[in-house]
Chains A and B, each alone.
Chain A
């Protein structure tokens, strides 16, 4: 059991709270840096996907986990980023510039979606973002002069400063650097006044407003940042796949992204990473277990949907804080072992809350 003695206010906002953090996160970074030499090629490619999804999950987490706004249209931002990157790269723009444009353009779209969010809440917002996602997907499919329509569009390997990143390893390192940068950025944001304003809005809009937080500004900002992260993720996704088409950014993708943060654990940056790893690992595990199942179940096209559904229901019912919450509980159990109380994390019974006038 570790006790942290607080002797300084700055301790509260330090990124690494104690030496254990420093040790384990350095170890993780070293491991990730060494991955191309340890891990087989196929799994390195999956790891790259996990990093890309982690960036998108960070954006989702910022919006859903920290600001409390539901978006069921996040694949649209992913798509805007991916298409911007594809079009600009094919025009010969260098990678960093195209990436910045992709992020910026996604953020601009995010602001547009964020605008109705100022007036509507909860389920209405979910439906607005859902509708928006459909409209954007249709735009990708119909605006074929730019996006190539339903036939999709090919994209060249990223290139910057005369250096072409064509191999999987090089691209992995690029993703790693960008992921680390995004993570540090988000962590930094969350300990700043902006991050605290986001959390205040999530916990209660009314009290946030009465504490002098400008709801309109911070909600729009949250949408913009979240969309920008999704755009960066989308740009890398486009480079990774080398080919994008509108059906990759459909409602199914949006729900997957939402599922990722819910299963990872809403309201924690760790959760974004756990969720991303889950989303990448799950299809692999399912594919591996297919041979051991009866043919009717193993070969069914809906097997993945069933597994996702069961896992999702299981987490919502029994572990609302997701994988990260489960990890916290296990860790606390071992830290406190002789004095651990069973009901420590018990979910509070609560009355049904009503938004209605009554």
Chain B
């Protein structure tokens, strides 16, 4: 019983990691850069949702929709204004750039008087619901966790359909495989890159809203994004299903090590896993073989 419960909470946490890692992977595949701002985009998304629900007074679904759309637009603008001018420069510069973006996002949020420095609870309709299986002694699940798992599954399905059946998704795949060739085939690579950033930001917003009932909304909630790096690496950077699987692995490992292993290992388990992974199989579970031609 305990075991199953740990698995469920691990999977729920892992879904969040997976969603953030999905953002990394989308961006990495499209522009071959790594965004360290993904966690902070998630934080912004959560704040957008919160603002929609409490200050403007939208209903839950409308607020969620608005937050996702707002973040998608923000992502597109971000790509257009800061990322595009330096694409093609060393990857290191872009890493630093996104770290800077994260700093600014975190700092600006704290500057909103009365909101930024506090911790907020998001009034979601499924708060404090519990499901019990098998009577008093049986399993009990938080509705929050189940919602996370279900939404992640739906989102994965949508993304799969997009990349498989939609013209836009196929264009994205093409431009991520070979930009020059895609450009010759008439795919507007620059616009596609912008859309990918928008999509990554939207996914981050969804992750933020899903995470909000568990960790509450505050300016530093984006730091959880750092734990999504191990997830992306374990799954193989550059593989979309891999990101989710990697996230689930990291989440479950974390939840087990928090219960069975001594104190302190819960926070570092993800990093230990990723170090071991990098030493044994640097390309991750589903990673493509990288080789550089001269």
Residues of A within 8 A of B (CB): 64, 70, 115-116, 119-120, 122-124, 126-128, 130-132, 134-135, 138, 141-142, 206-207, 251, 255, 258-259, 262, 296-297, 300-313, 316-317, 320, 347, 349-358
Instruction: Knowing A131-B230, A138-B268 are in contact, say whether A317-B85 is a contact too (CB < 8 A).
Output: yes
- B178 proximal to A (CB < 8 A): yes
Chain B 95-136 near chain A by CB (<8 Å), digits 1 or 0: 111011111111111111100110000000000000000000
Known: A251-B226, A351-B180. 4 other contacts (CB 8 A): A130-B229, A259-B99, A350-B89, A357-B288
Q: How far, in angstroms, from A357 to B292 measured CA to CA in the complex? A: 6
Which A residues are CB-close (under 8 A) to B140?
none
Q: By the criterion CB–CB under 8 Å, are B293 and A357 in contact?
A: yes
Indicate if B82 sits at the interface (CB-CB under 8 A): yes
**Would B88 and A300 count as touching, CB distance under 8 A?**
no
Q: Which of B89, B92, B178, B237 contacts A358 (CB 8 A)?
A: B178
User: In whole Å, how far is A325's beta carbon from the nearest beta carbon of chain B?
Assistant: 13
Residue of A138, A300, A305 with most partner-chain B CB within 10 A: A305
Q: List, in ascending order, chain B residues with CB within 8 A of A124's CB.
A: 233, 237, 278, 282
The verdict on A123 contacting B34 (CB below 8 Å), with A296-B111, A301-B110 known, is yes
Are A127 and B268 interface neighbours, CB within 8 A?
A: no
Residue among A70, A207, A305, A307 making CB contact with B92, cutoff 8 Å: A70
Assuming the A-B contacts A305-B106, A312-B99, are A356 and B264 also in contact, with contact meaning beta carbons closer than 8 angstroms in the complex?
no
Q: Which residues of B contact A352 (CB under 8 A)?
A: 31-32, 87-88, 179
B291 within 8 A of A: yes
For B85, the chain A residues whose CB sits under 8 A away are 317
- Asked if A131 and B32 make an inter-chain contact with CB atoms under 8 angstroms apart, the answer reads no
Sampled A-B contacts (7; CB under 8 Å): A116-B275, A123-B28, A123-B34, A313-B100, A320-B89, A352-B87, A353-B32
The list of the 6 closest CB pairs from A to B, nearest first, reads: A302-B107, A309-B103, A306-B107, A302-B110, A131-B271, A305-B107
Q: How far is the CA of A151 from the CA of B282 in the complex (A)?
A: 37
Residue of B nearest to A350 (CB): B88
Cα(A347)–Cα(B93), bound, Å: 14
Given contacts A300-B116, A357-B289, contact A317 B271 (CB under 8 A): no
Q: Contact at B289–A309, with CB atoms within 8 Å?
A: no
Q: In the bound complex, what is the Cα–Cα distance between A207 and B177 (angstroms)?
A: 26
Assess the B97–A302 pair: CB atoms within 8 A. no
A194 to B270, CA, bound (A): 36
Q: In the docked arrangement, what's the CA distance between A301 and B111, Å? A: 8
Shortest Cβ gap from A145 to chain B (Å): 14
Interface assignment of B272: CB less than 8 Å from any CB of chain A? yes
Task: Please measure, in the bound complex, the distance between the C-alpha atom of A251 and the C-alpha atom of B96, giving whole angstroms.
Answer: 14
Most chain B CB within a 10 A radius of its CB, from A206, A207, A306, A349 = A306
Assembly CA distance A320 to B268 (angstroms): 34
Measured in the bound complex, the distance between the Cα atoms of B113 and A311 in whole Å is 24
Shortest Cβ distance from B208 into chain A, in angstroms? 18
Is B226 a contact partner of A262 (Cβ separation < 8 A)?
A: no
Q: Which residue of A120, A128, A316, A355 has the most chain B CB atoms within 10 A of its CB atom?
A: A316
Q: Which residues of A contact B100 (CB under 8 A)?
A: 308-313, 316
A128 to B282, CA, bound (A): 10
CA distance A302 to B237 in the complex (A): 32
Contact between B294 and A206, CB atoms less than 8 A apart: yes
Q: How far is the CA of A109 from the CA of B186 in the complex (A)?
A: 51
Asked whether any CB of chain A lies closer than 8 Å to the CB of B219, the reply is yes
